[in-house]
Amino acid sequence: MPDLTVFSKLETDLGVTFSRRDLLVQAFTHRSYLNENPGFKLSHNERLEFLGDAVLELIVTEHLYHTFPNPEGDLTNLRASLVNAKTLAEVALSLNFDTYLLLSRGEAKDTNSKARHTILANAVEALIGAIYLDQGMAVVKRFIEQHLLTRLDAIVAGQKYRDPKSTFQEFAQKYVNVTPAYKVLAEWGPDHDKHFRVGVYLGEEEVAVGEGQSKQEAQVAAAAAAITVKGWGG
């Protein structure tokens, strides 16, 4: 049985004191932990994650609606940049969530894989669900404002919400009247932690190469690099 008193520090760091501490602990309980600890009295965090995902999307959507006059497509991309797994995992790491995760021994050893980042991102959503149930909308909104919406200025300034693949295709069709093509150049690693290297081409010309933990992620990296190589980013 883990020492659950460590969650007191997390409450201090979050500025949230739970009335039902069990909700906080459950938010960090991964399914794999229960497989090795069948006597643990709490369930895993997937239901809280389901709730937190909806609460997060609502609060972010409302903020974007009132803050930006942009068309729906831009708002959708901005929201995706804020609530995607990469950003949520960054939030989790900034708050040292790794310290609190209840995982199986196998999952605990896998510290820097795509799977761990997904677990961290899911824990953020589960925590949002837990705060909402325990403290209500005003408190969970404050948490999201402090730890997620503060990242919005950097996303907007760097136009990180724009999809590099779509942007590169627009530029390529405008300047050279060619649609980019992508080719997997290499892949390696076990199934749970694959890595891909992808090249992006204009006709026979290899413009740039990108890497990622999925083909899509590598294509996006290649497209972003290609925009820089071509000097088409403005």
What amino acid occupies position 220? V
DSSP 97: G
Residues labelled catalytic: 53, 125
Q: What mean pLDDT is reported for the chain?
A: 90
Cα 122 to Cα 42: distance, rounded to the nearest angstrom: 17
Cα 64 to Cα 218: distance, rounded to the nearest angstrom: 28
Structural tokens at position 32 = 């794999």
Average pLDDT over residues 133-157: 93
Q: Which residues pair with 29 in a beta bridge?
A: 102
pLDDT in tens, 31-76: 999 999 989 999 999 999 999 999 999 999 999 999 999 888 888 8
Do residues 193 and 147 make contact, with C-beta atoms less than 8 angstroms apart? no
**Cβ count near 170 (within 10 Å):** 12
Whether the pLDDT of residue 1 is over 80: the answer is: no
Do residues 121 and 129 make contact, with C-beta atoms less than 8 angstroms apart? no
Cα 162 to Cα 146: distance, rounded to the nearest angstrom: 23
Q: pTM of the prediction? A: 0.74
Whether the pLDDT of residue 183 is over 70: the answer is: yes
Exposed, middle or buried: residue 163 (CB in 10 Å: 0-12, 13-18, 19+)?
middle
End-to-end CA distance of the chain: 56
pLDDT in tens, 85-121: 889 999 999 999 999 999 998 888 877 777 888 999 9
**Cβ count near 131 (within 10 Å):** 26
Structural tokens at position 52 = 């937190």
Three-state secondary-structure class, residue 196: strand
Whether the pLDDT of residue 233 is over 70: the answer is: no
Query: Which domains, ranges and CATH numbers included, belong to the chain?
Result: 4-157 (1.10.1520.10), 164-230 (3.30.160.20)
